[in-house]
Amino acid sequence: MVFFIAAVFLSWKKVNKLPFKTEFNLSQKISMVIYGLLILVFGYYNVSTFSGFSTNMKAVQLDFPLHDGVYYVGQGGSHVQINYHHAHESQAYAVDIVKLNALGSRATGIYPNELDKYEIFGDELTSPCTGEVVQAENDLADLVPPNADPKNVAGNSVVISCEGVEVLLAHMQEGSVRVQSGDRVEVGEPIGLVGNSGNTSEPHLHIHAEKDGKGVPIEFDGRFLVRNSIVW
């Protein structure tokens, strides 16, 4: 950006020294104003996303709950432009995670109907912290994309009370949840498999932490994950 600004400035100086200046008609001037406004609007839109790559709030430290492959963050961060969950108070710092294959794709094919073509489907989930299971759902069907279940948003899921917050892992595979309410779990303990239940567009892991109904930031092994983050 520094070199670009310098190049524009030097080029302008050279043009400005020429013995003539370009005259613009009314139509061209109007177009220039429109382009200028578009640059300001979209420039602000993009620059404002930078605030979403960090947070001033203290984050809860968790272990990453997936361990077999390369994982990609589709939604994450502290700004709605890189994390649509941020618009919802309880999910403000939620993270949506998919898995990538050797070609860097999350699935075999373009938005396939077969669940097993999604790399993350069936991956084992482990507890991201040590605590008590306060809620568990295990009997909801896995849906064929793009079908979703908005009445059961989290789908098959586990909520663990730990680190002073409640951590939700959502969209798990039907019949795979290994824990139930009241169980004590240790960090790294298997709790189920990634599925495609609930209000979801495709197999992925949704995870967030909340306290008193408000979302709190989470870090995995000290990393605040945002859209396009890679974990392996």
DSSP three-state, residue 122 = coil
Q: For residues 124 and 195, is the Cβ–Cβ distance under 8 A? A: no
Identify the pLDDT of residue 145: 95
- Secondary structure element (H or E) that encloses residue 27, with its range: helix 26-48
153, 198 contact by CB (below 8 A): yes
Instruction: Say how many CA atoms lie within 13 Å of 89 toward its Cβ.
Output: 4
Q: How far apart are CA 190 and CA 151, in angstroms?
A: 27
- Percentages (nearest 5) of helix, strand, coil residues in the chain: 25, 30, 50
Mapping DSSP to helix (H, G, I), strand (E, B) and coil, where does residue 153 land? Answer: coil
The residue written with tokens 């949704």 in the block is: 206
Give how far the C-alpha of residue 25 lies from the chain's centroid of Cα atoms, to the nearest Å: 47
Contact 176, 138 (CB under 8 A): yes
The per-residue pLDDT string of the chain (232 residues; one tens digit each, 9 = 90 and over) reads: 889 888 888 887 776 655 556 677 888 889 999 999 999 888 887 777 888 999 989 999 999 999 999 999 999 999 999 999 999 999 999 999 999 999 999 999 999 999 999 999 999 999 999 999 999 999 999 999 999 999 999 999 999 999 899 999 999 999 999 999 999 999 999 999 999 999 999 999 999 999 999 999 999 999 999 999 999 9
Measure Cα distances from 176 to 28, 71, 145, 150, 194 in Å: 64, 21, 19, 21, 8
